[in-house]
Amino acid sequence: MEKEIREAQEKFAELIRSEYERIEKMKAEQEITDFGKLEKIIVGVLPGDGIGPIIMEQALRVLKDLMGPELETGKLEIRVIEGMTIENRAAKLQSLPDEVLDEVLKCNVLLKGPMVTPRASDPWPNLLSANSLLRRKLELFAAVRPIRIPEKNIDWTFFRENIEGEYIWGNKGIQVNEDLAVDFKVQTRQGSERIARAAFEFARKNGKKNVTIVTKANIVKLADGNFIKAVRKVGEEYPEIEIQERLVDAMCAKMLDTEFNKGIEVIVLPNLYGDIVTDVAAEHQGGLGTASSSNLGNRYAMFEAIHGTAPYLIEHNRGAYADPCSLIRAVGMMLAHIGYGDRKELLEQALDICTVTERKKVVTTMPEDASAEEFTDYLLETIEKIRA
Ligand code: IPM
Ligand code: MN
Q: What is the pLDDT of residue 290?
A: 81
Phi-psi region of 313 (alpha: psi -120 to 50; beta: other; left: phi over 0): alpha
Residue 283 has phi, psi (to 5 degrees) of -60, -45
Report the atom number in ligand 1 closest to the C-alpha of 135. 12
pLDDT surpassing 80 at residue 289: no
pTM value surpassing 0.85: yes
> Measuring from atom 8 of ligand 1, which residue has the nearest CA?
275
Q: What is the pLDDT of residue 124?
A: 87
pLDDT surpassing 80 at residue 74: yes
Q: How many CA atoms lie within 13 A of 264 on its CB side?
A: 29
Is residue 89 in some structural domain? yes
Q: What is the pLDDT of residue 298?
A: 92
Residues in the chain: 388
> Measuring from atom 4 of ligand 1, which residue has the nearest CA?
275
Listed in order, strand segments (DSSP E) in 165-248 are 174-175, 181-182, 210-215, 242-247
Q: What is the pLDDT of residue 288?
A: 82
> Measuring from atom 10 of ligand 1, which residue has the nearest CA?
275
Q: What's the gap in Å between 335 CA and the centre of ligand 1?
A: 22
Is residue 42 in some structural domain? yes
Listed in order, strand segments (DSSP E) in the chain are 41-46, 76-80, 109-112, 142-149, 154-161, 174-175, 181-182, 210-215, 242-247, 266-269, 292-296, 301-305
Query: Is any ligand 1 atom within 6 A of the Cβ of residue 117?
Result: yes
Q: What's the gap in Å between 303 CA and the centre of ligand 1?
A: 13
- Residue to probe by mutation, ligand 1, list 117, 133, 136, 278, most atoms within 8 Å of CB: 117
Q: Provide the mean pLDDT of the chain.
A: 95
Q: What is the pLDDT of residue 96?
A: 94
Q: What's the gap in Å between 275 CA and the centre of ligand 1?
A: 6
Is residue 269 in some structural domain? no
Query: Is any ligand 1 atom within 6 A of the Cβ of residue 212?
Result: no
Q: Which domain holds residue 332?
A: 31-140+297-387
Q: What is the pLDDT of residue 85?
A: 94
- Residue to probe by mutation, ligand 1, list 129, 159, 277, 292, most atoms within 8 Å of CB: 129
Q: pLDDT class for 277, splitting at 50, 70, 90?
A: very high
Q: What's the gap in Å between 248 CA and the centre of ligand 2?
A: 15
Q: What is the pLDDT of residue 3?
A: 94
- Give the Å distances, CA to CA, from 269 to 151, 182, 274, 276: 25, 23, 6, 11
Query: Is any ligand 1 atom within 6 A of the Cβ of residue 129?
Result: yes
| pLDDT tens sequence across 192-238 | 999 999 999 999 999 999 999 999 999 999 999 999 999 999 999 99
Percent of the chain with pLDDT over 90: 90
Nearest listed ligand to the Cα of residue 280: 2
| Arithmetic mean of pLDDT, 259-268 | 97
Is residue 196 in some structural domain? no
Q: What is the CATH number of the domain that holds 383?
A: 3.40.718.10
Q: What is the pLDDT of residue 80?
A: 98
Is residue 184 in some structural domain? no
In DSSP terms, 143 is beta-bridged to 160, 295
Nearest listed ligand to the Cα of residue 115: 1
pLDDT surpassing 90 at residue 366: yes
Nearest listed ligand to the Cα of residue 162: 1
Q: pLDDT class for 118, splitting at 50, 70, 90?
A: confident
> Measuring from atom 11 of ligand 1, which residue has the nearest CA?
275
Q: What is the pLDDT of residue 30?
A: 83
Cα–Cα distance, 236 to 194 (Å, whole number) = 14
Cα–Cα distance, 187 to 15 (Å, whole number) = 13
Is residue 360 in some structural domain? yes
| pLDDT tens sequence across 35-57 | 888 999 999 999 999 999 999 99
Report the atom number in ligand 1 closest to the C-alpha of 143. 9
> Measuring from atom 9 of ligand 1, which residue has the nearest CA?
306
| pLDDT tens sequence across 297-346 | 999 999 999 889 999 999 999 999 999 999 999 999 999 999 999 999 99
The larger pLDDT score, comparing residue 86 to residue 170, is at 86
Q: What is the pLDDT of residue 92?
A: 93
pLDDT surpassing 90 at residue 127: no
Nearest listed ligand to the Cα of residue 276: 2
Is residue 180 in some structural domain? no
Query: Is any ligand 1 atom within 6 A of the Cβ of residue 306?
Result: yes
Overall domain count for the chain? 1
Is residue 126 in some structural domain? yes
